């Protein structure tokens, strides 16, 4: 595929202070390890040693100790963890802090779009979780029962999440922007018994009803016995007798004490549904001694989160980053922020005002969000004191160098790192991540996280460097999904069918000559023009260099001669004129950077690109809409109307 170039030279080097105070160095010092490379090598070669060391480092408490930390006897895809142990992760998130100085520390800071702020200490959160756990028990719910969460990002969603786990139930997080069919499909697949929801939510100053959507969904979910409704907006809603109960009635006369259910370490904690390119959503199964541990490890070893840190990651509880933020911060004794609203409402500086007001120290964003905010210039950022920020994190999709540099220079003053993070729902967090001990180039990752035996391989499974290949993991890790709910064959097909005993993640990646790693988009998004493979991010990085372009998506469409050709969809800045001229300039830029062979067949200007709530651009949906194919599951899309515009273009220019 040729040599790989992306992003430029090193722009950030860790200071002595970052290194010496880091959680990573603390972990290495405990074990007498001198360098990061030595740590990673030991972590992937000595699996049992490493994950036991992580559990000890995080001070994870068990009711009964595990007999084996890892068991490979059923084969890599079905690796078992913490075998024979008894533990409930909520004991480690909340119970164990009660009676210690930590109980008076703020656990959760919440702000609503309307400006309301609430804070809960560890003790107050523990108390609320106990009340909800008692309420669930009163309704006859308990161990092994699956319970859905269809709520906006309010404190009650975190309370409900933890209470479901406390009674030994199974959490089903649902994206707050889902339509009825997406909700019913997931609840029915998991045989859910109850659902937490709200009357409505605020979005850009308007009330968006949610209870009617839940009611419509539940017509097709016969297993649901109870629906708990929190009054977020105080709009009138229909309540079904015998099934629906308002939050305040549900909590009436409930005790603030609750004995946490003593679950097995391998009991199912959560099923998170994730959309595939085809077929119904996949339910990734996670256990108590899995997802939350991996979340906390990534926060400690990658994001360098300390007890006095305040983390805000822009996400929804329906994406893995929502539960990740809650579990990880509480296990580390840190503070997390939830914001219920649009990050640019009522003005484009809302995000920066949140950082200033709540003294956020670690901010998690997506590249698309930064691209949309940078078009407003430096002014909205400079209005606010962002000195509390120690670093930032990013996930969701590949970066282009220009927005990465804008974020680095404007928001992080060119001296604080962007910790790039990439993995997935089935991973429980990251495969690759930045850290505060290694230098950074724009858009790069420091490398695989400790414990992640990642590699980049060619089509025969051989390791490659300085060229684009497939991202794989050569050994299981704690946090790896226990398979897809009710669909073991699909799990094997998705991840384990390409190379023996190797997890194929579905991302294109590359490692440069300095050992820095890059993600270049989904491998099912790859464009292959006359045998030449092309990651969409490579094209998009060039397109967004044009001063008139805000963001772009590149897809490959079928061509009788070349197999595939490149088609670009771009959003222009307001007031951009002479579109034909801009179109030709973009084509020339791509030809100049990529060569004539990879010249785009078409460049189309659209008003918006289809995105999920956490700002991931869905290229497979763009491609399918344009060429007239079934786009697959679109339930996670925030703006499905964007596809109509693309369909029209396809009718006119392609079909």
Q: What is the pLDDT of residues 418-446, one digit of tens each?
A: 999 999 999 999 999 999 999 999 999 99
User: Would 84 be classed as within a structural domain?
Assistant: no
Provide the residue range defining the domain that includes 611: 526-653
Q: How many domains does the structure of the chain reveal?
A: 3
Q: What is the pLDDT of residues 48-98, one digit of tens each?
A: 999 999 999 999 999 999 999 999 999 999 999 999 999 999 999 999 999
User: Would 300 be classed as within a structural domain?
Assistant: yes
Average pLDDT of the chain to the nearest whole number:
94
d(CA 252, CA 493): 48
Q: What is the pLDDT of residues 33-49, one digit of tens each?
A: 999 999 999 999 999 99
Contacts for 379 with CB less than 8 Å, ≥ 6 apart: none
d(CA 136, CA 132): 6
**Residue 571: pLDDT above 50?**
yes
Average pLDDT over residues 11-36: 97
Residues 501 and 409 in one domain: yes
**Residue 341: pLDDT above 80?**
yes
**Residue 634: pLDDT above 90?**
no
pTM for the full predicted model? 0.89
d(CA 240, CA 211): 11
Give the residue from 481, 499, 521 where a domain finishes: 521
Q: How confident is the model at residue 614 (pLDDT cuts 50, 70, 90)?
A: confident
Q: Which residue has the higher pLDDT, 266 or 590?
A: 266
Check: CB of residue 153 under 8 Å from CB of residue 317. Answer: yes
346 preceded by cis ω (within 30°)? Answer: yes
**Residue 220: pLDDT above 80?**
yes
CATH number of residue 222's parent domain: 3.40.50.980
**Residue 227: pLDDT above 70?**
yes
User: Would 206 be classed as within a structural domain?
Assistant: yes
Burial class (CB in 10 A: 0-12, 13-18, 19+), 407: buried
Average pLDDT over residues 345-358: 97
Residues 416 and 516 in one domain: yes
Give the residue from 521, 556, 581 where a domain finishes: 521
Specify the pLDDT at position 379: 97
Q: What is the pLDDT of residues 158-210, one digit of tens each?
A: 999 999 999 999 999 998 988 888 899 899 999 999 999 999 999 999 999 99
Residues 627 and 548 in one domain: yes
d(CA 289, CA 296): 12
**Residue 388: pLDDT above 90?**
yes
Specify the pLDDT at position 635: 82
User: Would 259 be classed as within a structural domain?
Assistant: no
User: Would 8 be classed as within a structural domain?
Assistant: no
User: Would 1 be classed as within a structural domain?
Assistant: no
**Residue 531: pLDDT above 70?**
no
Tell the residue number behind the tokens 């004490």, with chain if given: 257
Check: CB of residue 147 under 8 Å from CB of residue 194. Answer: yes
Tokens of 317: 């509880």
Residue 377 Ramachandran class (φ > 0 left, ψ -120 to 50 alpha, else beta): left
In the chain, % of residues over pLDDT 70: 98
d(CA 395, CA 651): 34
Torsion of CA 366, 371, 376, 380, to 10 degrees: 30
Specify the pLDDT at position 279: 61
Average pLDDT over residues 342-368: 95
Specify the pLDDT at position 7: 57
Residues 462 and 576 in one domain: no
Residues 544 and 489 in one domain: no
Q: What is the pLDDT of residues 105-118, one digit of tens each?
A: 999 999 999 999 99
Residues 319 and 239 in one domain: no
Residues 446 and 322 in one domain: yes
**Residue 275: pLDDT above 80?**
no
Specify the pLDDT at position 429: 97
Residues 512 and 539 in one domain: no
Specify the pLDDT at position 2: 43
Check: CB of residue 395 under 8 Å from CB of residue 321. Answer: yes
Residues 232 and 314 in one domain: no
**Residue 292: pLDDT above 60?**
yes
């Amino acid at each position: 595929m040729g040599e790989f170039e992306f992003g430029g030279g090193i722009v950030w080097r860790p200071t002595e202070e970052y290194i010496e105070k880091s959680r990573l160095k603390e972990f290495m010092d405990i074990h007498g390890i001198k360098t990061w490379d030595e740590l990673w090598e030991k972590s992937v070669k000595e699996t049992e040693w490493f994950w036991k060391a992580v559990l000890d480092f995080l001070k994870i408490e068990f009711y009964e100790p595990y007999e084996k930390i890892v068991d490979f006897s059923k084969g890599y895809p079905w690796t078992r963890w913490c075998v024979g142990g008894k533990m409930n992760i909520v004991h480690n998130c909340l119970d164990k802090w009660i009676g210690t100085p930590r109980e008076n520390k703020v656990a959760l800071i919440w702000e609503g779009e309307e400006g309301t702020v609430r804070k809960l200490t560890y003790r107050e959160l523990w108390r609320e979780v106990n009340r909800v756990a008692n309420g669930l028990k009163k309704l006859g719910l308990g161990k092994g029962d699956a319970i859905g969460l269809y709520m906006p990002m309010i404190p009650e969603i975190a309370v409900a999440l933890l209470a479901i786990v406390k009674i030994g139930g199974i959490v089903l997080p649902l994206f707050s922007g889902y339509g009825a069919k997406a909700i019913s499909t997931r609840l029915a697949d998991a045989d859910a018994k109850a659902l937490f929801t709200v009357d409505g939510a605020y979005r850009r100053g308007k009330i968006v009803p949610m209870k009617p959507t839940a009611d419509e969904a539940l017509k097709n979910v016969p297993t649901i016995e109870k629906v708990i409704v929190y009054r977020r907006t105080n709009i009138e809603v229909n309540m079904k007798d015998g099934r629906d109960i308002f939050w305040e009635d549900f909590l009436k006369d409930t005790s603030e004490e609750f004995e946490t259910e003593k679950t097995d370490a391998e009991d199912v904690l959560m099923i998170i549904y994730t959309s595939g390119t085809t077929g119904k959503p996949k339910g990734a199964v996670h256990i108590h001694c899995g997802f939350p541990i991996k979340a906390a490890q990534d926060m400690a070893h990658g994001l360098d989160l300390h007890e006095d840190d305040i983390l805000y990651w822009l996400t929804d509880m329906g994406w893995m980053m929502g539960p990740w933020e809650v579990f990880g911060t509480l296990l580390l004794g840190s503070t997390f922020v939830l914001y219920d609203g649009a990050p640019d409402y009522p003005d484009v500086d809302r995000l920066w005002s949140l950082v200033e007001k709540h003294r956020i120290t670690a901010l998690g964003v997506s590249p698309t969000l930064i691209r949309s905010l940078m078009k407003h210039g430096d002014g909205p950022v400079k209005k606010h004191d962002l000195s509390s920020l120690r670093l930032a994190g990013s996930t969701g999709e590949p970066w282009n160098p220009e927005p990465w540099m804008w974020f680095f220079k404007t928001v992080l003053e060119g001296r604080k790192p962007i910790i790039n993070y990439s993995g997935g729902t089935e991973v429980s967090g990251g495969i690759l991540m930045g850290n505060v001990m290694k230098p950074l180039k724009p858009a790069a990752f420091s490398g695989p996280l400790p414990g992640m035996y990642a590699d980049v391989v060619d089509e025969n499974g051989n390791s490659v460097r300085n060229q684009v290949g497939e991202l794989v993991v050569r050994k299981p890790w704690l946090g790896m999904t226990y398979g897809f709910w009710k669909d073991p064959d699909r799990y094997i097909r998705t991840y384990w069918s390409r190379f023996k005993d190797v997890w194929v993640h579905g991302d294109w990646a590359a490692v440069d000559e300095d050992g820095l790693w890059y993600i270049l988009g989904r491998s099912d998004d790859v464009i292959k023009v006359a045998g030449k493979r092309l990651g969409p991010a490579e094209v998009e990085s060039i397109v967004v260099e044009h001063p008139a372009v805000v963001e772009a998506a590149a897809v490959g469409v079928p061509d009788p001669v070349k197999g595939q050709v490149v088609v670009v969809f771009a959003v222009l800045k307001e007031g951009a004129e002479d579109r034909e001229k801009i179109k030709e300039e973009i084509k020339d830029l791509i030809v100049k950077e990529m060569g004539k062979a990879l010249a785009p067949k078409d460049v189309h200007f659209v008003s918006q690109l289809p995105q999920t709530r956490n700002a991931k651009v869905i290229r497979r949906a763009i491609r399918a809409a344009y060429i007239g194919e079934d786009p697959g599951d679109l339930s996670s899309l925030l703006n499905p109307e964007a596809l109509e515009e693309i369909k029209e273009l396809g009718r006119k220019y392609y079909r």
